[in-house]
Every structure is written in C-alpha cells, then in structure tokens.
Structure 1
Amino acid sequence: MSQATIKAEHLAKAMTYTQYRELIDLLLADNKTTGTNHAPDMIEYTRMNAQRMRRVEKTTVLDDELVHLMLSVQNKMIWVILTEAWCGDAAQCVPALVRIAEASPLIEVQLLLRDENLDLMDAYLTNGGRSIPKLIALDADTLEELGTWGPRPAPAQHLFDEMKAQNVPYQQFVEQLHGWYGKDRSKTLLQEFKPLIRDWAKLQSPEEQPVERF
C-alpha cells in the first residue's frame, strides 16, 4: 500500500454512477458534454457513449466465482473512477466496474471528471498519457491506496498500443477497438478483477486455501 493521493476534498466533489448518468443526459439535452470542448464531434461521441453504457449495463453478468468473491469482501472500500462522458473506453468499462462493485455492500463507487481533477489524473498516467477510465481502490477508513486498474483490459490495451504504433487511421482505430469491446462483452474485465479483489480484500486464492483431509 502507498500513501494516499486522493484526499477528502477530492471525494467531496465526486458523483455516484447514477448522478454521472443523469449529468450526461442533461448535458446532451443541451448539446453539451463534460469538459469545455462542446464541438459537434464531441457531442456525437457522447451520444454514442450513452448508448454504449446502456448496452453494457444490460449485458454485463458476473459469474458465480466473482459474485462469491465480492460477497467475501470484509473491508470497506471506495473505488474512485476518473472518467469523462466523451471517452469511449470509459463508456465500455465504467458500467461494468460499477456492476462489480454493486455485488458487495462494502464497496462504494465515486466518479470524478478527469479534466476537473488533473492534479489527481497526473498521478495515474498510463505510458505518460492521461488515459481513462482509471480506477483507484481506497481503504474507506484511511483513504490509503489499495491498488489501481485501467484504462482498459489488457488485450484492449495491447490492441490500442499496436494500432497507435502503426498510425492506424482514426476511424479504423475506433472501429477495431470498439469491435473488440463488443465481442468481449466485459468478460475480460470481469476476469481481471478476480485477482485484484483477492489482493485488495486480502482473500486467499483457491491455490492458497487449506485442503480438508479426512
């Protein structure tokens, strides 16, 4: 564990996922998005992302192992997620992250807008970039950092890095990345969280559990 980067003043301006979704709908009704760039393409990204979030909310299903893990959590946590409405990766991942957290009564999700919290974002860069979504798991009582995840599942990150290195045209870039998300249906993200939950909640892995002998 490391010293807390996230302070109480950050959490004071955080939103629940429900508030985040309501904010996006209100902004779209006014042809706006989060942040200060309200260009037509940014609005269109946000409209598509609202549809993506609705789809992910409906299709993300936790398997029995992950449900059991979440119900085994004994320590209260706060999951802080840095996000923005116009970010496609956030639209694909944040609803699934929330669905995981909802399986435990001890985990609270708080969302912060990246561009309003660049001091925090800059403590969690990915390859030097302000990539989102970024989840920071905290001990709810001390705000001590337990670990992080993001900005995307490992195979999606590998695809992203490959396409970026090859200077793939933007439209093709977007289609391939969101095509991966559409086929995966959050399954990789859910699998990635199993060892993270065991670590953050100090749960034994199946290999570490004692074997009953008769």
Structure 2
Amino acid sequence: MKVQIAKALFNSHSYAEYRKLVSDLLLENKSTGNEQSEDLTLYSTLNETRMNRLDKTMDITDENGFKLKSLKGEYIWLVISEGWCGDAAQIMPIVNKMAIESGKIELKIVLRDENEDLMNLYLTNKGKAIPIVIIIDKETGNLLGHWGPRPKGAADLIKNYKKEFGTLDEKAKTDLQLWYLHDKGLTTQEELINLMADLES
C-alpha cells in the first residue's frame, strides 16, 4: 500500500463523521478546506441541504443492489471530498448507500486539502477535481483502481460548456445540478458497479 493511502486511511472519516464535520463547521460559518470565503460557506450550506435530501430520497435500484451484494471480494472505498464541492454533494450519498447495500464495501472519506500528497496522485487534467473514489482490496491493501470526479454525462456537460463559453459560470453550475437531479444517481451507480465488475473479472 502506498504511504499516501495508508496515511489517508489513518486520518479518514466514516460517512456519519464526515457529515457531522461539515455541519459543525457550518455552525461556525466555516467550510471544510484550507480556504475560507463567504462563497464556500454558501456552497457548503447548499450542499448540506442537497445531501440531506439525497440521504432520504436516493435509492439503489434492485438490479444494482443485487450486483453489489454479489461482489466476491471485500473492499475499502477511500473517497477524497470537501463539504463545499457540488459534485461531492451529489455523489457522496450514493456512494454511501452503495457501500451499505453491498455489505462488502467499507466507506472512508478524507478531505482534499488535508491530503495533498494523496490528491496529487489522482489529478484530472492537472487539476484537483473531486470527489475521487479510490478502490482498495481490503484483504491485501492493494490499490485496484479509481473513479471520479464526475459521471460521464456530467463530465461531458462541463467539457462542452467550457468549449462553447470558455469559462464555467453560475449557469454551468446550475446546468450541472439539474443534470444530477434528472439522473437520480443512476449513472454513478452503473459506472462504479461496472468498474467493480471489471476489477473482479
């Protein structure tokens, strides 16, 4: 196991601990991360509302539930996240429910800014995009693969928007959140399940 991974696992949070950490910071008008600003606190507040909603309403489909329960091995999903990240807010509740549903996956969460060494191993186009799900074999500690920071449809939407307008503005962020709303977490479920199937085959 890489040193960066071992160190991150040692300092990781469960989903409940992660949610509490974000909530407790919001009570002090703060967000997670090294940088503090009104915008980041506002995003964190919005994201908390989103995650509360998704925790209640988001479902794993029966077919996906069956596939998750049928996994042969046992795994750790180590996720790099931050409370202010809009993509993380949409994806974390899904990843949590998938882990619970499987009975074979332990979910661990670390903050990006506290784990720079780890983040630098998983850059997207040289940027520190999150969330990143790192898949580890629980028995051997071997790194098997990773997924993120967005499902394909969401990634395409942002790439095309950037190509057309040259920048990401509030409209791009709104379009992205609408994409997630309509998708209902299905693409994330399918992509992660397909990755797990590939790793097991």
Which interval holds the TM-score relative to the shorter structure? over 0.9
Aligned residues of 1:79 and 1:138 also touching (Cα < 8 A): yes
Q: What secondary structure, in the 3-state scheme, does the structure 2 residue paired with 1:143 have? A: coil
Residues 103-118 of structure 1 mapped to structure 2, 5 A cutoff:
103-118=101-116
Structure 2: which amino acid aligns with 1:191? E
Aligned partners of 1:65, 1:182: CA distance in 2, in Å? 21
Higher Cα radius of gyration: 1
Residue 5 of structure 1 deviates from its aligned partner by 6.3
Match of 2:60 among 43, 59, 62: 62
Aligned partners of 1:4, 1:58: CA distance in 2, in Å? 36
Residues 19-38 of structure 1 mapped to structure 2, 5 A cutoff:
19-38=17-36
Structure 2: which amino acid aligns with 1:11? L
* Alpha carbons of structure 1 residues 5 and 181: separation in structure 2 relative to 1, 3 Å: farther
* Alpha carbons of structure 1 residues 6 and 70: separation in structure 2 relative to 1, 3 Å: farther
Q: Which residue of 2 aligns with 1:173?
A: 172
Residue 9 of structure 1 deviates from its aligned partner by 2.1
Residue ranges of structure 1 left out of the alignment (5+ in a row): 203-214
Q: Which residue of 2 aligns with 1:158?
A: 156
Residue 84 of structure 1 deviates from its aligned partner by 0.3
2:131 matches 1:133: yes
| TM-score normalised by length of structure 2 | 0.94
2:75 matches 1:77: yes
Q: Which residue of 2 aligns with 1:211?
A: none
State the superposition RMSD in angstroms: 1.5
2:193 matches 1:194: yes
Aligned residues of 1:6 and 1:143 also touching (Cα < 8 A): no
Aligned partners of 2:74, 2:82: CA distance in 1, in Å? 26
Aligned partners of 2:112, 2:131: CA distance in 1, in Å? 9
Aligned partners of 2:2, 2:195: CA distance in 1, in Å? 18
Q: Which moved more, 1:68-77 or 1:45-54?
A: 68-77
* Alpha carbons of structure 1 residues 36 and 18: separation in structure 2 relative to 1, 3 Å: same
Aligned residues of 2:162 and 2:168 also touching (Cα < 8 A): no
Q: Which residue of 2 aligns with 1:207?
A: none
Aligned residues of 2:5 and 2:118 also touching (Cα < 8 A): no
Structure 1: which amino acid aligns with 2:178? G
Question: How much identity, in percent, do the aligned residues show?
Answer: 37
Match of 1:8 among 6, 9, 15: 6
Q: Which residue of 2 aligns with 1:91?
A: 89
Aligned residues of 1:7 and 1:143 also touching (Cα < 8 A): no
2:43 matches 1:39: no
Q: What secondary structure, in the 3-state scheme, does the structure 1 residue paired with 2:176 have? A: helix
Q: What secondary structure, in the 3-state scheme, does the structure 2 residue paired with 1:135 have? A: strand
Aligned residues of 1:5 and 1:145 also touching (Cα < 8 A): no
Residue ranges of structure 2 left out of the alignment (5+ in a row): none
| TM-score normalised by length of structure 1 | 0.88
